[in-house]
Amino acid sequence: MAADGTIFGAMLEEFSGAARILNLEPGIWKILTNPKRQIIVACPVQMDDGRIEVFTGYRVQYNITLGPGKGGIRYHPDVSLDEVRALAAWMTWKCAVAHIPFGGAKGGIICDPTKMSRRELEALTRRYVAEIIDAIGPEKDVPAPDVNTNAQVMAWIMDTYSMHVGHTTTSVVTGKPIELGGSLGRREATGRGVMISTRESAKHLGLDITKARVAIQGFGNVGSISAQLIGELGAKIVAVSDWKGGVFNEKGLDVPALMAYAETHDHSVDGFPGGEPLTNEQLFKLDVDVLIPAALENQITAKNASSIRAKIVVEGANGPTTPDAHMQLHQRGVFVVPDILANSGGVTASYFEWVQDRYGYFWNEQEVNDRLEAKMHEAFNAVLQTALKYKIDMRTAAYVVAIDRVATVTKMRGMYA
Ligand code: GLU
């Protein structure tokens, strides 16, 4: 949350710090701080009990200078235009940092998927796609999974779009099931990128990752895979918390067992027998080396930032740290790997999926992982070198890299009309 109380305002604060360092021209500044296109749609759905409900959906294409819009779609009761706009802007900077030929977009629907049947979710998804169909497409805007959406939802999106255009178009969406044009390694890619960011940060700070203690907030796709892969490096995952509860084990949690437990317990770690219960607030105060917020926005705030003891914070979620909290952490010497770098593994693998769909030729999992490793390395080093060059924090450095790339192409393309 920013001084003005909005999430988009927080994005603007982050942007401004970097734009000043770049001496960005006022005209380009204006272009890059205005969303290009914002779509609001009403999606009527007949519910299982016969009643008609109307859901509000959004798709914001923040900037498409570098290529088609790219970004997930989230289903959550707290979705708002402000949130989707900020997330679309973050996708713009994320794709630029990842150095992939995409602009930034994001979508969301105000709904509570935990209270909806599979049929209702399918009907809502198809109606939402039909409402935004003119704005999406392989060359226009390519959605993907985000909070509470998954491969099945992507399959419905792909099918609805394909039915409308009259032919199967796999590259309209990424994060699809493998059987219908998905990429091996995509589901794990965000967590893999978080692991690579964690490992590289530890290397940079001279911290032995095999002895590191790690706490993770969130155990969805990003949190759970991050826990698994960082655990495989030899680090101890001592705590995990989620929307329902949390669990702590001084000796390190058995991550595969925790994943199996969550699978059969409402997708939550709450009540896991291999540790003691722990609250979300307690998790942030733990004496750990690495803290990974991998849930929603605004989790590390001015209220709890001072109690964080981790040396490294790796943002698996988008926007988990408010600008004032970030300032506090930076001043205390905490090494924060910002969302637009730390969780860019997901969209990078989405790019690989889009390429494979358009090429009609699919890579094996090792190939995907090797390419992801190379791209994450390139991105991490570009940001780290920028941080060292200007003596700035990693977030501002990531924005400097991203804004510079988008601004350069904006100027090259010139002004139309
Ligand atoms: N929702 C993910 C993100 O926030 C992935 C987006 C994508 O793959 O397009 O980065």
pLDDT tens by residue, 240-251? 999 999 999 999
Provide the 3-class DSSP secondary structure of residue 291. Answer: strand
Looking at CATH, the fold of the domain delimited by 187-342 is given as Rossmann fold (3.40.50)
Task: Report residue 145 as tokens.
Answer: 């999974």
C-alpha 72 – ligand 1 centre gap (Å): 5
pLDDT for the residue numbered 1: 56
Helix axes 81-98, 365-390, angle to 10 degrees: 90
Kindly report the average pLDDT of the chain as a whole number: 97
Residues with CB under 6 A from ligand 1: 70-72, 94, 144, 146, 174, 318, 343, 346-347, 350
Q: Looking at ligand 1, which atom is closest to the CA of residue 343?
A: 10
DSSP assignment, residue 64? -
How many C-beta neighbours within 10 Å does residue 285 have?
14
pLDDT tens by residue, 109-149? 999 999 999 999 999 999 999 999 999 999 999 999 999 99
Look up 411 and say whether it is catalytic.
no
Q: Looking at ligand 1, which atom is closest to the CA of residue 102?
A: 9
Percentage with pLDDT > 90 across the chain: 98
- Closest C-alpha to ligand 1, atom 10: 347
How far apart CA 390 and CA 159 sit, in angstroms, is 48
Q: Looking at ligand 1, which atom is closest to the CA of residue 349?
A: 8
Q: Is the pLDDT of residue 58 over 60?
A: yes
Which amino acid is present at 18? A
What is 35-170's CATH superfamily? Leucine Dehydrogenase, chain A, domain 1 (3.40.50.10860)
Percentage with pLDDT > 70 across the chain: 100
How far apart CA 30 and CA 26 sit, in angstroms, is 6
C-alpha 146 – ligand 1 centre gap (Å): 6
233 contacts 209 by C-beta, under 8 angstroms = yes
**Distance between first and last Cα of the chain:** 36
pLDDT for the residue numbered 235: 98
C-alpha 129 – ligand 1 centre gap (Å): 17
Least confident interval from 21-25, 51-55, 264-268, 310-314: 264-268
348 contacts 193 by C-beta, under 8 angstroms = yes
pLDDT for the residue numbered 417: 75
pLDDT for the residue numbered 340: 98
Q: Is the pLDDT of residue 334 over 70?
A: yes
Q: Mutation test of ligand 1: which of 66, 146, 153, 372 has the most ligand atoms closer than 8 Å to its C-beta?
A: 146
Which residues, 6+ apart, have CB-to-CB distance to 142 below 8 Å? 68, 69, 70, 102, 136, 171, 172, 173, 174, 350, 354
pLDDT for the residue numbered 171: 98
C-alpha 28 – ligand 1 centre gap (Å): 25
Ordered strands of the 141-145 beta sheet = 37-46, 52-63, 104-110, 69-76, 141-145
- Locate all alpha helices (DSSP H) within 166-247, ordered by sequence: 186-205, 221-232
pLDDT band at 346, cuts 50/70/90? very high
Active-site residue identified among 70, 94, 106, 311: 106
C-alpha 70 – ligand 1 centre gap (Å): 7
Give me the residue spans of the domains in the chain.
35-170, 187-342
Task: Report residue 49 as tokens.
Answer: 């009990």
Distances, alpha carbon 79 to alpha carbons 16, 41, 43, 161, in Å: 25, 13, 15, 23
410 contacts 65 by C-beta, under 8 angstroms = yes
CA-based max dimension of the chain: 65
Q: Looking at ligand 1, which atom is closest to the CA of residue 146?
A: 1
pLDDT tens by residue, 168-208? 999 999 999 999 999 999 999 999 999 999 999 999 999 99
pLDDT tens by residue, 260-294? 999 999 999 999 999 999 999 999 999 999 999 99
C-alpha 165 – ligand 1 centre gap (Å): 25
C-alpha 235 – ligand 1 centre gap (Å): 26
The backbone torsions φ and ψ at residue 28, rounded to the nearest 5 degrees and listed phi first, read: -65, -40
35-170 and 187-342 have identical folds? yes
pLDDT tens by residue, 381-397? 999 999 999 999 999 99
Q: Which residues pair with 74 in a beta bridge?
A: 108
- Closest C-alpha to ligand 1, atom 8: 347
Q: Looking at ligand 1, which atom is closest to the CA of residue 142?
A: 9
The backbone torsions φ and ψ at residue 178, rounded to the nearest 5 degrees and listed phi first, read: -55, -40
Distances, alpha carbon 308 to alpha carbons 41, 49, 247, 293, 312, in Å: 40, 47, 18, 12, 10
pLDDT for the residue numbered 5: 86
DSSP assignment, residue 5? S
C-alpha 71 – ligand 1 centre gap (Å): 5
Q: Mutation test of ligand 1: which of 106, 350, 356, 375 has the most ligand atoms closer than 8 Å to its C-beta?
A: 350
Q: Mutation test of ligand 1: which of 91, 92, 172, 176 has the most ligand atoms closer than 8 Å to its C-beta?
A: 91
How far apart CA 39 and CA 260 sit, in angstroms, is 39
pLDDT tens by residue, 352-370? 999 999 999 999 999 999 9
Q: Looking at ligand 1, which atom is closest to the CA of residue 350?
A: 8
